[in-house]
Amino acid sequence: MIKSLLAAGTILAALAGPALASQCPTLAAKAEEALKTSTLDDAGKAKVTELIATGMSQHAAGNHPESEATLGEALKLLGM
């Protein structure tokens, strides 16, 4: 009984994880794409690159709300 509850919990977590996490790579890809055609100066581009890297490591650590906020900041710098 306990084992099957644990298994159900694990399956739920596995299903919920990717659904919640899916936004970050999309945002990062969007920022990277925008960076290619950006008119920001080198310092601005470096800042955006740094924000993307920070966002993706927050995403990899499972910290998705923080990651989305960081990537959102990168997109804002890009004027999106």
Q: Which stretch binds Cu ion (CB under 5 A): 4-12, 14-22, 38-46, 69-77?
A: 14-22
CB 53 within 8 A of CB 35: no
Q: Which of 24, 27, 75, 78 binds Cu ion (CB under 5 A)?
A: 24
Q: How far is the CB of 2 from Cu ion (least distance, A)?
A: 31
Is 67 among the residues that bind Cu ion (CB under 5 A)?
yes
Q: How far, in Å, CA of 23 to CA of 62, rounded?
A: 12
Cα–chain-centroid distance for residue 71? 6
How many of the other CB atoms lie within 10 Å of CB of 79? Answer: 9
Q: Which of 35, 51, 59, 78 binds Cu ion (CB under 5 A)?
A: 59
